[in-house]
Copies of this chain bind each other. A is one copy, B any other.
């Protein structure tokens, strides 16, 4: 009998749940108005598609609309965009994750108190772009060791450091340790969200005990990709899928006794359920 185990912490985190609830409330409250999200509300194509089917479209540029309701996604938006929106006749619903918002506030605080700021994260991620925009000329994004080569030793004696909320804690620590040598004062805010650590931890624990491991989540989801990378290090038979349709059944044989499932913070429960039911039937 094959066993299918879902990691203890899997799927929607606090911020995503909150955003999805906000969308649901908006749909009821503004049902006669056009509603859109600026960029995909979360990095999950299936969830976004479901919203589109219920009339909530994704726009990529605020010039595409001049009325109705716009929902800002969990990752937050860049500061100048926020200003532009304030000058439009549009109802703005800000679904920025409160933990991301707090990280933004730390950037502002550090900037005000005279610290140049390092954001440890992915340069092209919308959350990081929005974080950077809080104190534009004073923020440097550090993605990996090579970005540290440009630190000029003598220029600054102090530095503020925050992290993209979905970074891996070990990577954050590693980057901080590398910065350590260059500054007299380092002021670090640990802005990594607990949910991310919990999801990562329980997925990694599970990966140690299974024959095959599936990580479910958008191929465009940074936190899912990182979850996949972490588990892949533990277990070579780890596969990143978006839905059950991406499962290559040939990797499951009679000797596959235990299958593990974990899901990123932007993966809806219904997709996790679908994957589980599909695996049961193989």
Contacts and interface: CB of A to CB of B under 8 A. Distances in A.
Interface in A142-196: 169, 173, 176-177, 180-181, 183-190
A278 B180 CA distance: 41
A184 B177 contact: no
A185 B177 contact: no
Nearest to A177: B173
Contacts of A183: 190
B187 A180 contact: no
A188 B183 CA distance: 10
A177 B176 CA distance: 9
Main secondary structure of the interface of A (DSSP, over half): mixed
A177 B188 CA distance: 12
A204 to B, nearest CB: 16
Contacts of A188: 180, 185-188
A197 to B, nearest CB: 9
B190 A180 contact: yes
Nearest to A174: B177
B180 A189 contact: no
Nearest to A189: B185
A187 B159 CA distance: 10
Contact of A190 (B176, B186, B189, B190): B186
A57 to B, nearest CB: 38
Contact of A173 (B180, B184, B187, B189): B180
- 4 nearest A-B residue pairs (beta carbon): A187-B187, A186-B188, A185-B189, A173-B177
20 contacts: A169-B181, A173-B177, A173-B180, A176-B180, A177-B177, A180-B188, A180-B190, A183-B190, A184-B189, A184-B190, A185-B187, A185-B188, A185-B189, A185-B190, A186-B187, A186-B188, A186-B190, A187-B187, A187-B188, A188-B188
